[in-house]
């Protein structure tokens, strides 16, 4: 009997057509460093620091495929005008030995229609708690346009020098809203059965693969569950992962959880920073957070590898490469992921706290992250994502 050797997480590895210097991915965290929906020097420096710090692949978040698909107006939108800045960003990452991925997608019901000056779209019309606002049900023409826009965004990513694209199928963004039986009440071929609700995801992945060919890697970020009663859950996620594997459109799936629309803290675990959220909001929204924030921003206990139990069930159901996310902050957790059969690991908050954490771990396998999972980084997405404990700064600076 032979056993497959456990990969060394710090050794080079293939991701589709790309070779990464290690198996560690900086997961997407919206940076809010794109005034005018274009790359800034600050955004380039953000990802340069991660490359210098040793990550194998850093993910630029969030690159909307259409103007109404932004969560707010100062968010990257993939168009010809953005290419020169994106090229400067990818060059900066490559200069320091890293690879770089563009997270592409459409925010759907999470988009800020007021900020964008365009209606927010979703699988079905509904009132959302983000404002509150009303989202419009996407027409068949909208669906076709947005699907094709993913192909255009992929071609622009290639032109800009990216090594990979990550399609956003999570967190109740546009595609995820179709997967959710709670958010998707359609009666056409994109609603009802799981096969119909998964149709958009599969078509979009195929569109991206057709545009990418074998020039760059294609990853998808897929919810395992929304953390919302009546929403998309693990049993359905297993089937969707199987279909995506059968379709052959992807090089890997990064597994995630939670709903930015209905239960954002479910993804993060740890403290809910209510006071910090209130401090960066308008007086009216601040009052709302004070009165009702605890009912929307729930607190969930943090533990290392907090997505592992659910991810194991996906791992047992498909053979394709998977990325494990959630509570991975040290070499021991990375080694556990490798031993469990995952090909890559993804980190976010720990790398906001210490962009050079991977270099520290490479030098000392016993090194521990300084991240305390306070989640005070979350409200900084409104003015420039960072760890307040590591880089204190004022809003707007």
Residues annotated catalytic, as ranges: 173
User: Among 260, 236, 66, which residue's Cα sits nearest to residue 144?
Assistant: 66
Burial class (CB in 10 A: 0-12, 13-18, 19+), 83: middle
Residue 161 in tokens: 């020098």
125, 142 contact by CB (below 8 A): no
Give residues with Cβ within 8 angstroms of 336, minimum separation 6.
Answer: 305, 308
Question: Could you tell me which of 118, 267, 260, 248 has the C-alpha nearest to residue 176?
Answer: 260
H/E stretch holding 103: strand 99-105
CB of 291 within 8 A of CB of 258?
no
Tell me the C-alpha distance between 108 and 131, whole Å: 15
133-137 and 126-128 strand pairing: antiparallel
CA 149, CA 229: separation in Å to the nearest integer?
31
Q: Distance between CA atoms of 250 and 242, rounded to whole angstroms?
A: 12
Place of tokens 């995506």: 244
Q: 299 and 375 in contact (C-beta within 8 Å)? A: no
* Sign of the torsion formed by the C-alpha atoms of 168, 169, 171 and 174: positive
Distance of alpha carbon 96 from the chain centroid:
23
Structure tokens at 109: 């019901």
Rounded Cα distance between 120 and 226, Å, is: 20
CB distance 129 to 193 below 8 Å? no
Helices (H) and strands (E) in the chain — how many of each?
Answer: 15, 13
332: CB partners within 8 A, 6+ apart:
none
CB 324 within 8 A of CB 345: yes
Hey, which residues does 280 pair with through a beta bridge? none
């Amino acid at each position: 009997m032979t056993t497959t050797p456990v990969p060394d997480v710090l050794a080079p590895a293939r991701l589709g057509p790309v070779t990464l210097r290690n198996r560690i991915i900086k997961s997407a965290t919206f940076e809010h460093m794109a005034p005018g929906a274009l790359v800034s020097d600050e955004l380039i420096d953000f990802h340069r620091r991660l490359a210098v710090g040793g990550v194998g692949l850093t993910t630029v978040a969030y690159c909307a495929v259409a103007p109404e698909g932004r969560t707010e107006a100062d968010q990257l939108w993939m168009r010809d005008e953005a290419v020169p800045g994106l090229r400067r960003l990818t060059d900066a990452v490559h200069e320091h030995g890293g690879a770089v991925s563009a997270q592409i997608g459409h925010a759907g019901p999470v988009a800020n229609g007021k900020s964008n000056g365009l209606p927010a779209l979703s699988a079905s019309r509904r009132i959302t708690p983000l404002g509150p606002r009303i989202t419009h049900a996407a027409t068949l023409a909208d669906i076709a346009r947005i699907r094709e826009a993913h192909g255009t965004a992929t071609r622009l990513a290639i032109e800009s020098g990216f090594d990979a694209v990550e399609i956003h199928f999570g967190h109740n963004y546009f595609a995820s809203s179709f997967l959710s039986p709670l958010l998707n009440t359609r009666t056409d071929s994109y609603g009802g059965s799981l096969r119909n609700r998964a149709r958009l995801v599969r078509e979009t992945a195929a569109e991206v693969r057709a545009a990418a060919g074998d020039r760059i890697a294609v990853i998808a970020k897929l919810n395992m569950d929304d953390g919302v009663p009546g929403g998309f859950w693990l049993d359905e996620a297993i089937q969707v992962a199987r279909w995506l594997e059968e379709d052959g459109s992807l090089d890997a799936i990064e597994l995630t959880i939670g709903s930015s629309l209905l239960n954002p803290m479910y993804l993060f675990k740890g403290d809910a920073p209510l006071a910090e959220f209130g401090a960066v909001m308008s007086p009216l929204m601040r009052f709302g957070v004070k009165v009702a924030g605890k009912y929307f921003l729930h607190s969930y206990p943090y533990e290392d590898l907090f997505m592992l139990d659910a991810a194991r069930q996906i791992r047992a159901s498909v053979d394709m490469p998977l990325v494990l996310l959630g509570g991975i902050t040290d070499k021991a957790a990375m080694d556990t992921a490798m031993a469990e059969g995952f090909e890559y690991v993804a980190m976010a908050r720990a790398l906001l706290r210490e962009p050079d954490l991977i270099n520290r771990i490479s030098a000392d396998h016993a090194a521990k992250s300084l991240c305390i999972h306070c989640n005070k980084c979350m409200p900084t997405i409104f003015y420039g994502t960072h760890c307040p404990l590591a880089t204190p700064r004022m809003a707007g600076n």
